Amino acid sequence: IRAAVQLTKPAEAARQYLLQYMKTKIYLEKVQNGVYTPEQQTLLAYYAEKARKSLNKLQSLEIKQTLTQVRDAARAEASIASFVTALAHITAATTHSRLEDETGSNAARAAANKVSVKPTACALDRAGVEDSNEAPDSISDKEFANVNLASDGDATVTGGGTACTLTAQKASNRLLNAGAGDQTITGEPHYAGGLFFLDTTGLKNRNANKQGDLPAEAKVLQKALIAAHAAKGSTEQFIFKKPSQLKTDQDFKRLWRNIVLNQLPAKATDETAVEDAIAKAFGGDEAMEATYNANLKTTMVVNLKGDEPKEVQLQTLVNFDDLERVLTHYQALNADTLKSKIKEFQDTLNKQDSKAAADTCNKITNKNECDNKPYCSYNATEQETTKKCQFNETKASKSRVPVTQVQTAAAETTTDKRKDKKKDECKSPDCKWES
């Protein structure tokens, strides 16, 4: 029971944390266009880490250990059940039976009850493996403790003469026909995985409370007892935590320091300040409950599984492939929106830059100087003398001169070239020295 829960609990916790991660991400992609605050990044990282830690409980070594515990317990259960079931069939009249009637008082089990084995651990007709953190009867954190199995004690009672081969003392046991001479059994036959053994005085049960003292012949029983102690169960589960709870969560505090405070690695200082900041995060307990729990259930998202309805509630998506498709859908929409805004912004800049580039060319009055510029062309037919030199976007593109470079370069005019030059530096054609 506790071994089974070591598999089911972590698996379900990991699934729930991953669902919460995916749904939170979808919600933020839709309502915030995929722009996350540092607080929200921390929350997503927290859900991902909790899922990872739960999945770590299902790694190969842990699974092998748990399956070994299940195997060892099942072997003992099957051994005991098959032995008891066989004894239930060894019955003749109402006065002869291998099993005592459940009413006790040394009453023989009637032949009609040969298949009516009490539905405890001896029964094999349970529908499936149960998973629970509740310890089986007589199992504690330290050892198996049962007053009826506290010593190597007699396992039989008789109301008359003992005539059963399985339980009779060795000297009169018929398994080797001891009555014919020297065929007395010298060993100790064990039954039910080692729970019972044939002693000189008859059938006895082993002291199951001292598993470390059990002989090799009781190895099946010993391993089952060890497995029962080793299987501690699991408390793994998904918990939606609010800021008042997250502020004391060591994993969340470490991630907060990493992401919000940019501490790599996380420090252990200002603990009170960090906890106070987390307590106020996400708008407080009520706001976080509404936004990141209630809203995740009722938010409408695109339906990618059919034409109708157009949208479905986010809480109805429980398969990871469906969630992934919806998440990718909103991420693609946000990416297209961002591209459109960038293009719009770039177009605006280009218009501004083109005007600035045109102004730069207009300042040039010399035809040769104008045509020598990789982004200007001289138009002799232009009526306005101040605009004969014009910006040529095609020429600039072929010359691989970006518009922004034209703007920042701000081509030198003839006047700029003559300015502040000395007599020996003033040379034709752009400069002529005049006294």
Beta strands 153-154 and 202-205, pairing class: antiparallel
Query: How sure is the predictor about 248, in pLDDT bands with cuts at 50, 70 and 90?
Result: very high
Output 147 or 415, whichever has higher pLDDT. 147
Q: What's phi and psi for 205, nearest 5 deg?
A: -100, 150
Listed residues 184, 211, 230: the one ending a domain: 230
Q: What is the CATH number of the domain that holds 187?
A: 3.90.150.10
> What integer pLDDT is reported at residue 120 of this predicted model?
46
Q: Are residues 301 and 351 in the same domain?
A: no
- Give the least confident one: 56-65, 153-162, 193-202, 314-323: 153-162
Q: Are residues 239 and 373 in the same domain?
A: no
Output 306 or 132, whichever has higher pLDDT. 306
What is the CB neighbour count within 10 angstroms for residue 88?
19
**Is 334 within a domain?**
no
d(CA 339, CA 137): 66
> What integer pLDDT is reported at residue 342 of this predicted model?
85
**Is 435 within a domain?**
no
> What integer pLDDT is reported at residue 119 of this predicted model?
46
Q: Are residues 222 and 259 in the same domain?
A: no
Q: Are residues 209 and 68 in the same domain?
A: yes
Highest mean pLDDT among 126-135, 189-198, 350-359: 189-198
Q: Are residues 270 and 392 in the same domain?
A: no
Residue 404: domain span: 346-425
The number of domains in the chain is 3
Q: Are residues 174 and 112 in the same domain?
A: yes
**Is 333 within a domain?**
no
Return all residues near 152 (Cβ < 8 A) that are at least 6 apart: 199, 204, 205, 206, 207
The yes-or-no verdict on residue 91 having pLDDT over 90 is no
Q: Are residues 170 and 196 in the same domain?
A: yes
- Give me 417's structure tokens: 């070239």
Q: Are residues 267 and 382 in the same domain?
A: no
- Give me 265's structure tokens: 């690695």
Highest mean pLDDT among 257-266, 383-392, 398-407: 257-266
**Is 332 within a domain?**
no
Query: How sure is the predictor about 121, in pLDDT bands with cuts at 50, 70 and 90?
Result: very low
Query: How sure is the predictor about 416, in pLDDT bands with cuts at 50, 70 and 90?
Result: very low
**Is 163 within a domain?**
yes
**Is 335 within a domain?**
no
**Is 141 within a domain?**
yes
> What integer pLDDT is reported at residue 137 of this predicted model?
64
Listed residues 169, 198, 230: the one ending a domain: 230
Q: What's phi and psi for 81, nearest 5 deg?
A: -65, -45
pLDDT in tens, 251-274: 999 999 999 999 888 887 889 999
**Is 327 within a domain?**
no
Q: Are residues 104 and 171 in the same domain?
A: yes
> What integer pLDDT is reported at residue 381 of this predicted model?
87
Q: Are residues 300 and 156 in the same domain?
A: no
> Over pLDDT 70: what percentage of the chain?
79
Q: Are residues 85 and 206 in the same domain?
A: yes
d(CA 216, CA 176): 23
Q: CB–CB of 277/246 below 8 Å?
A: no
- Give the least confident one: 107-121, 305-319, 321-335, 404-418: 404-418
> What integer pLDDT is reported at residue 413 of this predicted model?
45
Query: How sure is the predictor about 410, in pLDDT bands with cuts at 50, 70 and 90?
Result: very low
Q: Are residues 218 and 251 in the same domain?
A: no
